[in-house]
Amino acid sequence: MNFVFISPHFPKNYEGFVVRMNQKGIRVLGIADVHYDELSEIIKENLTEYYRVNNLENYDEVLKACGYFTHKYGKIDRIESFNEHWLELDAALRTDFNVFGLNNDDIEIVKRKSSMKEVFRSAGIKVARGRVFKNIDEAREIIEEVGYPVCAKPDIGVGAGNTYKIKNDEELIKFFKLGHNEEFIMEEFIDGEIVTYDGLTNRNADKVFNSTLVYNSTVLDIVRYNMDMYYYIPRSIPEDVVEAGEKIVKAFDLREKFFHIEFFKEAKTGDLVALEINCRVPGGRTTDMFNFANDIDIYDLYAGLMIDNMFNANITRPYYCAYVGRKNFRNYANTIEDLYYRYTEEIMLIDSIPGVFAAVMGDIGVIFRTKEEEYMFKMLDEILKTRGE
């Protein structure tokens, strides 16, 4: 099997996919725009071959790389990056090389939030009221329908980049003075907590693994107010999340694909409101959290799925697993060393976060697991406690 991995070195924890696929006899063929010497030794040892392009944004260069791999190794069986940024690149390459998976005909409904909303509606899932707008007059029409505050964000985009909470006319005018070039969607602001439905399907579109994440706050507020953040995997998935998530996975006909579906759980009604779907693994170290929460190896299980369409794991959810990020400018009451000494059995991983992610994820990330929810929240308090509290 020939598996072309776009940008196999980033983020670092995706090395696990390269290692496990290589161990199972899959040819892993890497394409990226960093020099070979910049790759980790693990990547070097487990890639069958690496092709460096000058710029991954240059489609002709990447096309040439895939053509080289085809000439040398035969037909490409899979092309994947596990990265939202390269979703369109992956699809275009699959189209040109006739490779299984999302192609150019599929990509529109999974990259545009406005297109996603239509699929959510068709599945009977509640969505926030709103639509794409082109000028201030169209924006005012939406606000007249839903009222302030509203949320404006790029129709194509990842995370909270260029996302704005607009509370009044003054802020609306200020938004338009910024002169954005991209297309935006405006929606009513939903008051509630974020919850997700995450998992993996096989090539028959059957779900083989599922999970959920609960966040302490929205990415927008974490960045705006420079808050500490945490999120966690609970030991059970709420029935309404499973029901809504399953309907969405079926509606999108996802095959041999990780998925990450975000909902707001409304504070007043408890209703789920679908925000967006990402056809990739959840960000950060969530793949490792899947492993710690379930005592599995998701990288190995994915490699097995590539080979024989089987996912051989018994998911019992024995642990709560939490990620908590700490920011360097805060004066925390407990040092990382003290925390590790105190919670040696619970702490699974301590990681330095690359600067590009630090505003959200913190400068230092701690992943830990516990069997009891109460103990998990106790640890979160201890990790985030500042001096004087």
The whole-number pLDDT of residue 357 equals 83
Contacts of 235 (CB under 8 A, 6+ apart): 293, 317, 318, 319, 320, 373
pLDDT at 271 over 70: yes
Rounded Cα distance, 306 and 155, in Å: 32
Rounded Cα distance, 272 and 101, in Å: 29
> Picking from 115-119, 258-262, 326-330, 359-363, which range would have the lowest pLDDT averaged per residue?
359-363
- Top-confidence residue, 289 or 360: 289
The CA-based angle 251-253-259, given to 5 degrees, is 90
Q: How far is CA 42 from the centre of its chain?
A: 23
Q: For the sheet containing 78-80, what is the strand order?
A: 49-52, 27-32, 2-6, 78-80
Strand partners, 154: 184
pLDDT in tens, 296-344: 999 999 999 999 999 999 999 999 999 999 999 999 999 999 999 999 9
**What is the identity of the amino acid at 106?**
D
Going by C-alpha positions, the residue among 16, 48, 55 that lies closest to residue 32 is: 55
pLDDT in tens, 21-60: 999 999 999 999 999 999 999 999 999 999 999 999 999 9
The whole-number pLDDT of residue 127 equals 97
Q: Output phi, psi for 253, to 5 deg.
A: 50, 50
3-state secondary structure 220-281: HHHHHCCCCEEEEECCCCCHHHHHHHHHHHHHHCCCCCEEEEEEEEECCCCCEEEEEEECCC
The whole-number pLDDT of residue 379 equals 98
Contact 362, 353 (CB under 8 A): yes
157-180 exposure pattern, b = at least 16 Cβ within 10 A, e = fewer: beebeebbbbeeeeebeebeeeee
Rounded Cα distance, 79 and 2, in Å: 9
Contact 194, 202 (CB under 8 A): no
Contact 150, 130 (CB under 8 A): yes
Rounded Cα distance, 261 and 29, in Å: 29
Rounded Cα distance, 9 and 47, in Å: 11
The confidence band for 223, taking pLDDT boundaries of 50, 70 and 90, is confident
Q: Output phi, psi for 92, to 5 deg.
A: -65, -40
* % of the chain with per-residue pLDDT over 70: 99
3-state secondary structure 17-51: HHHHHHHCCCEEEEEECCCHHHCCHHHHHHCCEEE
Query: Tokens standing for 176?
Result: 């338009």
Question: Quick one: DSSP state of residue 353?
Answer: P
Mean pLDDT to the nearest integer, 341-369: 93
Contact 309, 204 (CB under 8 A): yes
pLDDT in tens, 67-78: 999 999 999 999
Contacts of 351 (CB under 8 A, 6+ apart): 285, 364, 365, 366, 367
Question: Quick one: DSSP state of residue 14?
Answer: G
Rounded Cα distance, 341 and 353, in Å: 21
pLDDT in tens, 115-174: 999 999 999 999 999 999 999 999 999 999 999 999 999 999 765 568 899 999 999 999
- What the chain holds in terms of domains, given with CATH numbers, is 2-106 (3.40.50.20), 129-188 (3.30.1490.20), 192-384 (3.30.470.20)
Mapped onto helix, strand or coil, the DSSP state of residue 386 is: strand
- DSSP characters over 76-130: --EEE---GGGHHHHHHHHHHHT-SS--TTTTHHHH-HHHHHHHHHHTT--B-SE
Q: 308: how many CB neighbours lie within 10 A of its CB? A: 10
The whole-number pLDDT of residue 211 equals 98
The whole-number pLDDT of residue 317 equals 98
pLDDT at 257 over 60: yes
Contact 27, 73 (CB under 8 A): yes
